[in-house]
Amino acid sequence: MIVVMSKDCGDKEAAEVIARLEAAGLTAHLSRGVERTVIGVLGTSPALPELRDTLQLLPGVEQVVPITKPYKLSSREFQPENTVIKLGEHSIGGDELVVMAGPCAVETEEQAVSTARAVKAAGATVLRGGAFKPSTSPYGFRGLGEEGLKLLAQAKQETGLPLVTEVLTPGDIELVLRYADILQIGARNMQNFILLDEVGKAKKPVLFKRGLSATIEEWLLAAEYILSQGNREVILCERGIRTFETYTRNTLDISAIPTIHKLSHLPIIADPSHGTGRWDLVTPLALAAVAAGANGVMIEVHPSPETALKDGPQSLTFENFEKLMTQLAPVAAAAGRRIAGKGV
Amino acid sequence: MIVVMSKDCGDKEAAEVIARLEAAGLTAHLSRGVERTVIGVLGTSPALPELRDTLQLLPGVEQVVPITKPYKLSSREFQPENTVIKLGEHSIGGDELVVMAGPCAVETEEQAVSTARAVKAAGATVLRGGAFKPSTSPYGFRGLGEEGLKLLAQAKQETGLPLVTEVLTPGDIELVLRYADILQIGARNMQNFILLDEVGKAKKPVLFKRGLSATIEEWLLAAEYILSQGNREVILCERGIRTFETYTRNTLDISAIPTIHKLSHLPIIADPSHGTGRWDLVTPLALAAVAAGANGVMIEVHPSPETALKDGPQSLTFENFEKLMTQLAPVAAAAGRRIAGKGV
Amino acid sequence: MIVVMSKDCGDKEAAEVIARLEAAGLTAHLSRGVERTVIGVLGTSPALPELRDTLQLLPGVEQVVPITKPYKLSSREFQPENTVIKLGEHSIGGDELVVMAGPCAVETEEQAVSTARAVKAAGATVLRGGAFKPSTSPYGFRGLGEEGLKLLAQAKQETGLPLVTEVLTPGDIELVLRYADILQIGARNMQNFILLDEVGKAKKPVLFKRGLSATIEEWLLAAEYILSQGNREVILCERGIRTFETYTRNTLDISAIPTIHKLSHLPIIADPSHGTGRWDLVTPLALAAVAAGANGVMIEVHPSPETALKDGPQSLTFENFEKLMTQLAPVAAAAGRRIAGKGV
Amino acid sequence: MIVVMSKDCGDKEAAEVIARLEAAGLTAHLSRGVERTVIGVLGTSPALPELRDTLQLLPGVEQVVPITKPYKLSSREFQPENTVIKLGEHSIGGDELVVMAGPCAVETEEQAVSTARAVKAAGATVLRGGAFKPSTSPYGFRGLGEEGLKLLAQAKQETGLPLVTEVLTPGDIELVLRYADILQIGARNMQNFILLDEVGKAKKPVLFKRGLSATIEEWLLAAEYILSQGNREVILCERGIRTFETYTRNTLDISAIPTIHKLSHLPIIADPSHGTGRWDLVTPLALAAVAAGANGVMIEVHPSPETALKDGPQSLTFENFEKLMTQLAPVAAAAGRRIAGKGV
């Protein structure tokens, strides 16, 4: 931490800052310059975040500049080697490219099972599907609940694909854990800290989506909630941020992918279905994410998108999903990853 | 709803759209133009939101344009007169200007009680204070929990001020209801739909903050969750949206205030403390919000901001809060509202 | 400037940074800490901005933190007292509240003259009106050009109101200067640096609008172009920034008003017409801007907005402008400013 | 265009709207519904954009919905086949992947020539380099001007690479045209309409960057300025938009690439150097852009970025550029494009 004092700050003001720092067990180095006086802070203290805020309010202080990252367990400094998460015979975070695919919301047995079969045949290694759905409007479809989880369990049994599905609230974790292989935390819940605490205690991997207006730093800090409870199997998922552009539902921040690889050891996948909101942009953005180094992609697939109860406009048909998988192979190879699904 | 067909759409495509509409019990009006063919849709159906999505995917359809607002109970069309919420001898939503003030987080009995006394003396009519605090980092201060609620209860008893305090998760609602007069839903939980369902069943008013990247329409739709569960006492709170500007923590969207008055009958207040993140911008932004028609303001006050455990940099001292109240009076008067607090 | 070295940086890397700094005539102070090594930089050099970029690329450097503001002439540090610009018997930047009003684009003599008379009667002290208009589409109305300037000159002569009008390109400055009392630089030209250089050489005040995606720091840096050419009479104008909200055309950043007063000595006014894009939000946002400390407002007024060639939806009628002026008076008084127009 | 009338609109209001439409030579179709009354508008008129604004202000009108795109010449409806621009033996917009590379700003003969040789050897087919540089600060480096153009001309002669270089103001076009093969319009000038008019009259291709806060629709509308003056050789360049994320300088909107291919026939390239502001993100984002279908990329290269006068932190060394080209080849192949440069 560095404390920048204002141009005309006197000795008394600097002394007060130094006294506060020393009271917290830190060491202060004073440098007087022509334009500014600067106090460098050495040492660490658990009270540092609060201290930063309070120093800002002292007379003569112009700016307090943090110089260490606020997240620890998720940082590459803490763990230089990549986190690789085992998932049956497959793994996420290594040289495999993981493709998670399935319907936005599960609707019927037929829909769930046929989609699971189709995506497996095309090379997906994880089945996605929602039973508890967040809906912008209370009058929209909110998912089948436990009934939906049972249908997903059938699709899973038929195909052997592990299942990723969303949990919306602490009270449902136990139930969802009975069916899911990966717990999904949606974008709207990225800062639902109580929920993060609780999935941090679960013994299954967590797919953790970035919030619509979250910076990368806030996302890693939120992941820290899960990690610090003991669950180290977190898969980050970029799913688009909110910008002024209205043609796409969100703007998929592809640059977040190499940035996460630089700052963190956690695997990162991309969700171009939610990231664009338009099925005809899903394939180019999936290819882009993989070229930029994503560990995987998450794709919405539906037997007939034009009758889907949710997110039809961003879902691929079986045929289009198959085409995507074909196009994905050479790009994955160029990026040094292999698609491990049976169908490929 | 209006369905715009592409330039070269044939009769078959138009017929398919019309068939779908009629199957849902709606009436379709076809108009063929030089540039576009347009199908007007009359009637209503609960399946409308889903239908809108699926029509978009049919061949020949270029655009589906909704022409009714997606929220109902919160709209001014549904209820033309303002919602006025009684709060002891005061009320929110009428000609009173409500000032809610207090510490960001409750820390000690002394801090809670002295702040409550000071803000009451200066004219505040509601005490704010947090016992359950969302914290960006798991290593930050997360509030005193039930112990904090007890301290707030003491401050309330000493001053007679009703209490607004945040609830973070469905499991805590019962506990918080024992102490709070108004339940606060924070910005990060604006789309925590399970929590909204549950506070919708409570018998106390809800202070409902706008999410950092929520449009006004999404905010009203989320309020609809609470209203549709039977709780009609919702107070909206604008607290800043996320933009590219970094000088302020957020950008307080003052235009949301008259916009809400136009679209909805619900009262709206502003929170310039979180909206700016800087105590020296709190007063000018509070004045601006009231001039623009806000029903009230929510202000963070602390006996010594430079030692606060949370949000010190955006908290006013007792003295600065008193000054704010003095400056607020003539602006409130100009805006046709009166400050009803005892101290004024 | 402070150079933060990475955790594991060696002596060699630090020495290289120090050598570069000393070569530029600066002094370096090295502090080794447990978590980071920090090099404080004292002294100034014209090469500082470039140096900052290049240091960032040296081995072992993690972050380069500037600690002085990049703008000088526009900063309050450089000039503590407010800039007050004389304009006939009126002035901008002092205790007067300046109201600039008139049509978005001048259309006819009748329109220009009648509007000028109406706004003067209601208390405006500056006439606004565009002859050269930026238009998002090449097929839209682009203004009457010199013919328009002549009509504005007539309106000015009839009323005695000084005129503010936009200049779009360096080649037009000479012509516009013949008619205008204040040169306006529009939001889209905020970083048209050649144009800024040229109006910096003019001998008339410049009304300088903030760009749609400009930070406050970039805005002040751009103002610096004008100031550094010798023209010290710059009036800043907040006119809305681009956010994800779509109900309003832009989001008027009211917090920029007190922020500018803190960082700079230049006067600042607000343009709620462009800032909201909706006439029914103009009055509440004008009141908000004045309550927050604006030195003035700029308002679009048209004899019959529903036939205006440009920006009708955000223009006030004569009647609504008069009402606005009536509402403005007590808010201006509360903010310590007086409306000086004859009509008041 | 469709005019949506408010719920309670009477016959008189509807009649007034219809009268206005018919006066402009358009045909109106009235449909009365339970929730809303809708007036469909058929036919076209040059006055349409203005009419849209004015109708919005008439009593009883709730919303005016445009249903045709506001741009014409740049739309795929107007020209279904791709625009392919010849550039010596190469072309942009067909199956070639164009790589434009070179220094941000030209500094010396040695720097310009050595960079040109290095990028050509690695497979670039166009030389980029700036002589007139926009600089956020008036105290920053603004380029060598005509002297810089001469140095670029030398680099061009030595290598045979065609040159793309920026023009900042109408007064410089003639001069720049003497040296450049492609005129570049920078992001800050995307809505400098006078400049667009003038390059629209030039007989050379224009590289047209997206503004930092421009929607895709506004970008295409601005391109329309150039096209409508007769210059049909416009190459669009996505270079990042402004968002709340601060780790990257901008957010490169990769989804704009397939969107432009859908809406327009114009070629589109990506500039990951400006789009990220960090050299270590340039390669992954270049790969992503090509995977998503870009017709080319524009890359900043410098012999020693740590001494560059401008944008060093986002420049690749010769070695890193060569690596990028090696990685680009298989991704280009997967996307159905070939790199045509001599070095490949």
User: Is the entire prediction scored with pTM above 0.90?
Assistant: yes
The pLDDT assigned to C342 comes to: 56
Task: List chain A residues with CB under 8 Å of B309.
Answer: 50
The pLDDT assigned to B55 comes to: 87
Gap between the Cα atoms of A249 and A242, Å rounded: 8
Task: List chain A residues with CB under 8 Å of C34.
Answer: 42-44
Distance from CA of C252 to the nearest CA of A (A): 15
**What are the percentages of helix, strand and coil residues in chain A, rounded to 5?**
40, 20, 40
Chains interfacing with C (3 or more CB pairs < 8 Å): A, B, D
CB pairs under 8 A between A and C: 56
Using 50, 70 and 90 to split pLDDT, how confident is the model at D34? low
pLDDT in tens, B111-120: 999 999 999 9
Cβ of A218 within 8 Å of Cβ of B136? The answer is yes
Strand spans (E) along C103-225 = 126-128, 163-166, 182-185, 206-209
Higher pLDDT, B265 or B29: B265
The pLDDT assigned to A46 comes to: 67
The pLDDT assigned to B54 comes to: 82
Q: Which of D171, D184, D106, D182 is nearest to D143 (CA)?
A: D106
Mean pLDDT of C291-316: 92
pLDDT in single tens digits along all 344 residues of chain A: 888 888 778 888 899 899 988 888 888 888 777 667 888 887 777 677 778 888 888 888 888 888 778 899 999 989 999 999 999 889 999 999 999 999 999 999 999 999 999 999 999 999 999 999 998 889 888 999 999 999 999 999 999 999 999 999 999 999 999 999 999 999 999 999 999 999 999 999 999 999 999 999 999 999 999 999 999 999 999 999 999 999 999 999 999 999 999 999 999 999 999 999 999 999 999 999 999 999 999 999 999 998 888 888 899 999 999 999 999 999 999 999 999 875 54
Gap between the Cα atoms of A282 and D156, Å rounded: 40
| Range scoring the smallest mean pLDDT among A320-324, C4-8, D1-5 | C4-8
Residue B159, helix vs strand vs coil: helix
For residue C191, is pLDDT > 90?
Answer: yes
Cβ of A138 within 8 Å of Cβ of B49? The answer is no
Mean pLDDT of B42-66: 80
Distance from CA of A96 to the nearest CA of B (A): 32
CA-nearest residue to C213 within chain A is A244
pLDDT in tens, C14-55: 998 999 888 888 888 887 776 678 888 877 776 777 788 888
Gap between the Cα atoms of B28 and B143, Å rounded: 56
Cβ of B58 within 8 Å of Cβ of A193? The answer is no
**CB contact set of A171 (below 8 Å; sequence gap of 6+):** B170, B171, B194
pLDDT in tens, B228-280: 999 999 999 999 999 999 999 999 999 999 999 999 999 999 999 999 999 99
Chains interfacing with D (3 or more CB pairs < 8 Å): A, B, C
The pLDDT assigned to B46 comes to: 67
Place of tokens 């640059």: A255
Strand order in the sheet with C27-32: C27-32, C37-42, C2-5, C61-65
Residue B86, helix vs strand vs coil: strand
Gap between the Cα atoms of D40 and D30, Å rounded: 7
**Do A333 and A137 contact (CB within 8 A), yes or no?**
no
Closest by Cβ to D7, choosing from B63, B77, B246: B77
Q: Which residues of C touch B (CB under 8 A)?
A: 213, 215-217, 241, 243-248, 251-259, 262, 275-276, 280-281, 284-285, 287-293, 327, 330-331, 333-335
Chains interfacing with A (3 or more CB pairs < 8 Å): B, C, D
Task: List chain D residues with CB under 8 Å of C212.
Answer: 213
Per the DSSP assignment, residues forming a β-bridge with C238 are C270
The pLDDT assigned to C281 comes to: 97
The pLDDT assigned to B2 comes to: 84
Distance from CA of B6 to the nearest CA of D (A): 10
Using 50, 70 and 90 to split pLDDT, how confident is the model at C310? confident
Distance from CA of D235 to the nearest CA of C (A): 18
| Range scoring the smallest mean pLDDT among B86-95, C76-85, C301-310, D164-173 | C301-310
The pLDDT assigned to A167 comes to: 98
Cβ of C46 within 8 Å of Cβ of D139? The answer is yes
CA-nearest residue to B279 within chain A is A57
Cβ of B285 within 8 Å of Cβ of C275? The answer is no
Per the DSSP assignment, residues forming a β-bridge with D166 are D184
For residue D226, is pLDDT > 90?
Answer: yes
Closest by Cβ to B170, choosing from A49, A138, A169: A169
The pLDDT assigned to A8 comes to: 76
The pLDDT assigned to B81 comes to: 97
Distance from CA of B335 to the nearest CA of D (A): 26
The pLDDT assigned to B34 comes to: 65
The pLDDT assigned to A70 comes to: 86
Cα separation of the two ends of chain C = 51
Cβ of C311 within 8 Å of Cβ of D225? The answer is no
For residue B56, is pLDDT > 90?
Answer: no
Q: Which of A328, A261, A306 is nearest to A124 (CA)?
A: A328
Per the DSSP assignment, residues forming a β-bridge with A176 are none
Inter-helix orientation angle C216-228/C256-263, to 10°? 50
Cβ of B43 within 8 Å of Cβ of D34? The answer is yes
The pLDDT assigned to B32 comes to: 76
Strand spans (E) along chain A = 2-5, 27-32, 37-42, 61-65, 85-87, 90-92, 96-102, 126-128, 163-166, 182-185, 206-209, 234-238, 268-270, 296-300, 338-339
Quote the tokens at residue A293: 């180094």
**CB contact set of B159 (below 8 Å; sequence gap of 6+):** B113, B116, B117, B120, B127
Cβ of D291 within 8 Å of Cβ of A290? The answer is yes
| Range scoring the smallest mean pLDDT among C49-58, C279-288, D85-94, D223-232 | C49-58
Q: Which of D3, D164, D7 is nearest to D98 (CA)?
A: D164
The pLDDT assigned to B39 comes to: 86
